[in-house]
Structure 1
Amino acid sequence: MALIGYARVSTRDQNPESQTDVLSSAGCEKLFVDRASGTLAKRPALTEALGYLRAGDTLVVTKLDRLGRSVKNLKKISDQLQERGIGLKALSQGIDTTTPGGRLFFHMLAAIAEFEHDLIVERTQDGLAAARARGRKGGRRPKMTENRIKQARAMYETGDHTVQEIADTFGVGRATIYRHLEDKGLKTTQI
């Protein structure tokens, strides 16, 4: 029944000492430290810590965001720990899944966070649908307007400019110029 600590800092420049000091003072026998963004799938120290833990042990973190990349990921890790008989403690949030109240609190937080995420997705989709109904499209505006396409075609037809020169004039790639020339049915020889 050991307390095993896990700390993570997002960049190599950040110092994990504030986390490791808290974990040590909480009684953690062994510490694992990652220096990686939480969004990265590869966190070797976490993988090592999860492999080290045995039934009856408790994984201790300073805050839940140090452990999971997302609510879904955090819930998955928590479920895996629970299946193996391993507890989870988040010191700053007062969560301890080795107690019934701690498990309840953890699942309530996870449910609220998931609900909030679903609301954000729903509002985003509603906003996009409303914008489409008003005739707005997503994405950036095309660089080649109808007027610029006509100018590019005229430059090409005179034969005085290469496709690269035309592309440079309008600040686009050659593929964009070729696409607009071929839309008009002009025969192009790629240069």
Structure 2
Amino acid sequence: MKFGYARVSTKDQNLDAQMKVLNKLGCDKIFFEKISGKNIERTELNKLLEIIRAGDTIIVIKIDRLARSLKDLIFLLDEFSAREVILQIDTMQFNFTTPEGRLFATLFGSVAQYERELINERTIAGMKAARENGRIGGKPKGLNDEAKKKATKAYDLRVKELSINDILITAGIKSKRTLYSYLRYEVKRRSILENKEISEDGLWLL
């Protein structure tokens, strides 16, 4: 399927121009939102990422509608490559299942890995400095034992790429808001145990 994604930064801006182009490019479904690129909670983009499958195409009219920064772009392209999703920017396609696409994917993946290693080095250095100054991080607080178990189960299911609705049902969580809260708790807990950086939306370990 072809999925479009449109975004404007403020409520005063209009999505019509982007929607018109995306419809012209043959999108089967369009996800759109009015939200600043600086805001890490892009609900509609997250919904799109939950349903895409190998062979699907994501279409945007400009790359800055998709990514907030170079780092954000690198991680998104790395994910598209791993999931064999085609990215189309206006009429230009990056098909990660072709030899040329795999070349781009390799380059993107190498840069993403380099970025992860830099982040990991900075995290280790920061934790070392904190210990030397007597500041040792502890486990995140705020959930009871039952909720903690659900948080752990929810994250394990998300790693297995289950849909949000399936996770809600399987983990016995009542709402998406609660689910995301549990996921952030579990990600923070694991980041401390595994000494890993957290994604900007707080939902993944890097």
Structure-2-length-normalised TM-score = 0.47
**1:67-120 deviation per Cα after TM superposition (whole angstroms, max 9, x unaligned):** 11111111101111211121111116x242344445656858x97xxxxxxxxx
Q: Is the 8 A contact 2:9 2:34 kept in 1?
A: yes
Counterpart in the other structure of 1:68: 67
Counterpart in the other structure of 2:131: none
Q: Which amino acid aligns with 1:56?
A: G
In structure 2, distance between residues paired with 1:18 and 1:105: 29
Counterpart in the other structure of 2:22: 23
Q: Which amino acid aligns with 1:81?
A: F
User: 5+ unaligned residues in a row in structure 1: which ranges?
Assistant: 112-191
In structure 1, distance between residues paired with 2:5 and 2:32: 6
Q: Which amino acid aligns with 2:85?
A: I
Counterpart in the other structure of 1:97: 95
CA RMSD of aligned residues (A): 2.4
**1:136-160 deviation per Cα after TM superposition (whole angstroms, max 9, x unaligned):** xxxxxxxxxxxxxxxxxxxxxxxxx
User: 5+ unaligned residues in a row in structure 2: which ranges?
Assistant: 112-206
In structure 2, distance between residues paired with 1:104 and 1:79: 12
In structure 1, distance between residues paired with 2:39 and 2:52: 22
In structure 2, distance between residues paired with 1:20 and 1:102: 27
In structure 2, distance between residues paired with 1:62 and 1:77: 16
Q: Which amino acid aligns with 2:95?
A: T
Q: Structure 1 pair 91/102, CA: closer, same or farther in 2 (3 Å)?
A: farther
Bigger radius of gyration, 1 or 2?
Answer: 1
Percent identity between the aligned chains?
42
Counterpart in the other structure of 1:131: none
Q: Is the 8 A contact 1:96 1:103 kept in 2?
A: no
The secondary structure found in structure 2 opposite 1:79 is helix
Structure-1-length-normalised TM-score = 0.51
Q: Structure 1 pair 97/89, CA: closer, same or farther in 2 (3 Å)?
A: same
In structure 1, distance between residues paired with 2:54 and 2:101: 18
In structure 2, distance between residues paired with 1:66 and 1:100: 27
Q: Structure 1 pair 63/104, CA: closer, same or farther in 2 (3 Å)?
A: farther
Q: Which amino acid aligns with 1:65?
A: D
Q: Does 1:45 align with 2:62?
A: no
The secondary structure found in structure 2 opposite 1:32 is strand
The secondary structure found in structure 1 opposite 2:37 is coil
Q: Which amino acid aligns with 1:97?
A: N
